[in-house]
Amino acid sequence: MPTIAVIGTLDSKGPEHAFIAAQIRSHGIDTLLVDVGTGSEPQAKPDITREQVAAAAEIDLEAIRGRQDRGECVAAMSQSLPRLLAKLANDGKIHGVISLGGGGGTAISTSGMRALPVGFPKVMVSTLASGNISPYVGTKDIVMIPSVLDVNGLNRISKLIFTRAAGAICGMVNAKEDLSSNKPLIVASMFGNTTKCVNAAKEILEDAGYEVLVFAATGAGGQAMESLIESGMVAGILDLTTTEWADEIVGGVLAAGPGRLDAMTTARTPAVIAPGCVDMVNFGPRDTIPEQFSERLFYIHNPQVTLMRTDPVECAAIGRVIAEKANANEAPVAILNPLKAVSEINGEGKPFHDPEADNALFTAIRENADVDVVDYDLEINDPAFAEAAAAKLLELLRKSDAVEETQRPLANHNSQ
């Protein structure tokens, strides 16, 4: 019988979590009630106590509670719960997780959910679910359900929402997974302005026997791709849309953080990289752009998205970062430069055509890269460039496999 962990601050929301646990059991699924409260005594009997949760990170909970600092208590549980849930999941003792919470409960419970792999059922009923949930969800598939009311008591509305949430997590746990594909994985980055290229390359790679997962280069998308690469599940990387570095360096709204392009090094994964869409920085509506950029060149992508053209100084900085990140990877890496256009709107006669800025980008890549750099007198969305990118990645994958084959007998010999 599957088991769902019900995570809650049982000192303040014990009856609510006991109710949702009972609803889950009515579906024929077992529950494990986990207390992450740090205030008064729990209002419902936990299966795993707060002390046991804290012990997962070797934290002295009583000492922290004695200081009566709620923020410190929340931080302690947020540090401990991920370790506990990861172990329970790895040991096959839980098959899903659900929680109800306000600010503190949401922070604690989602910290634990983020430690669980993609595909593991996770549901958070929260007072914060209708706002900016990115700090809570991160790059994981956490289902956020607005509680509508505060999580404070059982009434006709809260019971309705909690019942539906219980049904949702049970349905997720009982859903049959189709994991029939055993093809090696390739991840690819894409933007609207590189869609033609990535789709064409994807088709070639799939014909070669790979499964290709495409991530939108929207900040969160890049982070999610990095997370999957870091997990070690990925055989190869087709990172043709590194535009998030433009936002990171210039200050746009779709940055993926300074760790973008680091996972390939951590996982030693072969990669083909291109400076796709680094001609643009993403902002919201035109009237939201910071005053410091008022004299720059803009392109209205849609009413919600305004693109700003990167200048030569910014392009040089982006080129250096791409080169330096590529240099760090011990696996085979190549950088491909589409000299005629790095995006759909960058070619000659297009809104973001700027040969000086493009030259600064390509020069910085060539001067700083120690890996293979190949220039193509093509636009990035030219079918020939897509074919070249796919062929290069297949070449690097074969090279990586050959290296592993030569090292394997040596490794076996050394282990004897």
Q: What is the dihedral of CA 237, 240, 245, 251, to 10 degrees?
A: -130
Q: Alpha helix locations (H) across 209-348?
A: 220-230, 244-250, 263-267, 312-328
Determine the pLDDT at residue 404: 62
Query: What pTM, to 2 d.p., does this model score?
Result: 0.78
For 21, the enclosing helix (H) or strand (E) is helix 10-25
Measure the CA–CA gap between 233 and 36, rounded to whole angstroms.
32
Determine the pLDDT at residue 62: 84
Tokens of 358: 């493009």
pLDDT (average), residues 42-66: 91
For residue 413, pLDDT beyond 50: no
pLDDT one-digit tens code per residue, 196-241: 999 999 999 999 999 999 999 999 999 999 999 998 899 999 999 9
Percent of the chain with pLDDT over 90: 85
- Phi, psi at 376, each rounded to 5°: -125, 130
pLDDT one-digit tens code per residue, 288-311: 999 999 999 999 988 899 999 999
Determine the pLDDT at residue 403: 60
Q: Could you tell me what percentage of the chain is helix, strand and coil, using 3-state DSSP and rounding each to the nearest 5?
A: 45, 20, 35
b (16+ CB within 10 A) / e for 13-34: bbebbbbbbebbeeeebebbbb
Residue 149: DSSP 8-state: S
pLDDT one-digit tens code per residue, 274-286: 999 999 999 999 9
Between these two residues, 319 and 119, which has the higher pLDDT value?
319
Residue 414 makes CB contacts below 8 A (sequence gap 6+) with none
pLDDT (average), residues 133-142: 91
Determine the pLDDT at residue 179: 61
pLDDT one-digit tens code per residue, 345-375: 999 999 999 999 999 999 999 999 999 999 9
pLDDT (average), residues 242-265: 97
For residue 7, pLDDT beyond 70: yes
- Phi, psi at 130, each rounded to 5°: -100, 0
pLDDT one-digit tens code per residue, 163-192: 999 999 999 999 987 666 689 999 999 999
Measure the CA–CA gap between 260 and 279, rounded to whole angstroms.
17
For residue 405, pLDDT beyond 90: no
Tokens of 227: 């997370």
3-state secondary structure 358-392: HHHHHHHHHHHCCCEEEEECCECCCHHHHHHHHHH
Domains of the chain: 3-174 (3.40.50.12020), 185-409 (3.40.50.12030)
Average pLDDT for the chain: 93
